[in-house]
Amino acid sequence: MIPIVSATLFLPLLGAALLAAWRGAPPRAAHALGIAFSGLALLGAAWMWARGASGEGFSQVEEVAWIPSLGVAYRVGVDGISLPLVLMTAVLFFVSLVFSAGIRERARSYVALFLLLETASLGVFVALDAVLFYVFFEVTLVGMYFIISGWGYEDRQRAALMFFLYTLLGSLPLLLAILGLYLGSEPNTFDMRELIANPPLTGLAATLALLAMLVTFFVKTPVFPLHTWLPAAHVEAPTAGSVILAGVLLKLGTYGLVRFALQMTPDAFRDLAPYVAALAAFSALYGAFVALGQSDLKRLVAYTSVNHMGYVVLGVAVAAAATGARAVALDGAVLQMVSHGVVTGALFLLVGMLQDRAHTREMGAFGGLLGVVPGLGWAFVLAAFASLGLPGLAHFPAEFQIFLGTLRVYPPAVVAVLGIAVTAGLYLRAIQVAFLGEPRGERRKLRDLGARETLAVVPLLALTVLIGVVPSLALGVIHATTEALLP
């Protein structure tokens, strides 16, 4: 039987190794190789989706001994929480590499780093060994650091360094928590399945481990006040880097909250859940209001990520409570991870296209873009409407479930719903200023979407509509696991 999880996981890394060995690879060939290997990983992820996930526990498990004396092994597999994220990750890397095919400067290194980052990101979602999880979690920093510093904009070096230091130092508490879980287990193990089935820590030890996890995953998500690395990293990253940073890497934090904090320290998380919910609600509102004050379209989209990821953390906090509606909120949180990746990925692609054409992201520098570049303009309007939570588009079913669960468990935290109104205001203002009215000066001559750009953004817009209209396609897989996890 083909080890499809491992094949999907390491195909991008194989492509990166081939590029590293092919020193004279011309840019066109490097991009073609990258798209091919990322496309194969996407086919593998689709195959994994077709095979599905069992309602209880993990499926498609593959395991090989690694360090037997410590109980460390190469263990990978999926469940209804990780499987949608694997497919989302494969889609976003594929469209990002398609979009990037026009890059000629050090193309071989650029593509190789993206493929390395894809393997590391997929590895976080499929890892079933805590040490393996941590290795993949850390390797993502390497790939994104070099992508930002090597191909970003003017202040890229400072932004890359801030991203690396914040997330590297932020991940150290997780290592301590993993060691605590290992020492508390009997027999000692790093097998995440065992740590989930029989949480090894209680009392103060569990609380300390949870706090360490929260620091790590709040930095990665990011949650206020540990979010300050995000705007600079997004603004200075190349367009495809911003897509992966927002669409995939932020999900490593919220996924970790579910997989480690919620499943391995459930009692401690239940005790702290009201405080986590309050912080998440504040973070969501903070992100929305700060985004409202932005004139730079890319910075605006970056701060809406703080808003939307706050909703995800709120849903996870509700799931940690000991009362009803837990599975509803967790369903919404996992679906929001997927919908945010798709919608925000499309928005960053479209803003990047505008910047490539006009060499500015200031919304006031535009005007009348719907008449000048109708394809790009209407694509932005669709993605913006999805981001503000319009029914029939991807965010609505996710946020509806999060707020439904919140209202039942922590009614005061539902104040975070005001963030939707603020988000609606900021996107409507952006559409009015940049896309309606009369075009300004040279903006009349901008070109519309090209074939490569269309191929990159249309799949994300199609998924935005599909998830909004038929959310059961994802929720059926997700709920089978959350229902068993949160009886």
Last residue within a domain, chosen from 223, 244, 264: 264
What does the pLDDT look like over 384-441, one tens digit per residue?
Answer: 999 988 899 999 999 989 988 888 888 877 788 788 888 888 899 989 888 887 776 5
Q: What is the pLDDT of residue 68?
A: 85
Q: What is the pLDDT of residue 252?
A: 94
Of 235, 264, 293, the residue that ends a domain is: 264
The verdict on 246 and 289 lying in the same domain is no
| CA gap 321, 435 in Å, rounded | 44
pLDDT given for residue 441 in this prediction:
59
pLDDT higher than threshold 90 for residue 244: yes
161 and 288 belong to one structural domain: no
pLDDT over 70 at 60, yes or no: yes
Q: Are 435 and 366 in contact (CB under 8 A)?
A: yes
Give the mean pLDDT of 127-135.
94
- The tokens for 483 are 């229902």
Q: Give the whole-angstrom CA distance, residue 374 versus residue 359.
A: 19
Do 278 and 258 sit in the same domain of this protein?
no
Q: Which residue has better confidence, 228 or 276?
A: 276
- Whether 194 and 323 map to the same domain: the answer is no
Tell me, yes or no, whether 105 and 160 share the same domain: yes
Given a cut of 90, whether residue 154 has pLDDT beyond it is no
SS3 content of the chain, % helix, strand, coil (to 5): 80, 5, 20
What is the chain's mean pLDDT, rounded? Answer: 89
Q: Which domain holds residue 249?
A: 1-264
- Compute the average pLDDT of residues 77-92: 94
More confident residue, 237 or 211: 211
Domain end, chosen from 238, 264, 290, is at: 264
**Is the domain of 245 the same as that of 269?**
no
Residues 292 and 251 in one domain: no
Instruction: Of 61-65, 206-210, 267-271, 414-418, give the lowest mean pLDDT range.
Output: 414-418
pLDDT on residue 487 = 59
Q: In this model, does residue 56 exceed pLDDT 80?
A: no
Closest CA to 320 of 407, 403, 250, 410: 410
Contact indicator for 97, 34 with CB cutoff of 8 Å? yes
Q: Note whether 149 and 247 are same-domain residues.
A: yes
462 and 482 co-located in one domain: yes
Domain count, the chain: 2
Position 11 scores a pLDDT of 95
Average pLDDT over residues 303-307: 89
Query: For residue 235, what pLDDT is reported?
Result: 83
**Based on the domain organization, do 173 and 307 belong to the same domain?**
no
Residues 251 and 339 in one domain: no
Spatial CA neighbour of 237 closest among 174, 167, 149, 164? 149
Kindly indicate the confidence band of residue 180, based on its pLDDT and cuts at 50, 70 and 90: very high
241 & 229 share domain: yes
pLDDT class of 234 with cuts at 50, 70, 90: confident
> Do 340 and 308 touch, CB atoms closer than 8 A?
yes
Q: Which pTM does this prediction carry?
A: 0.92
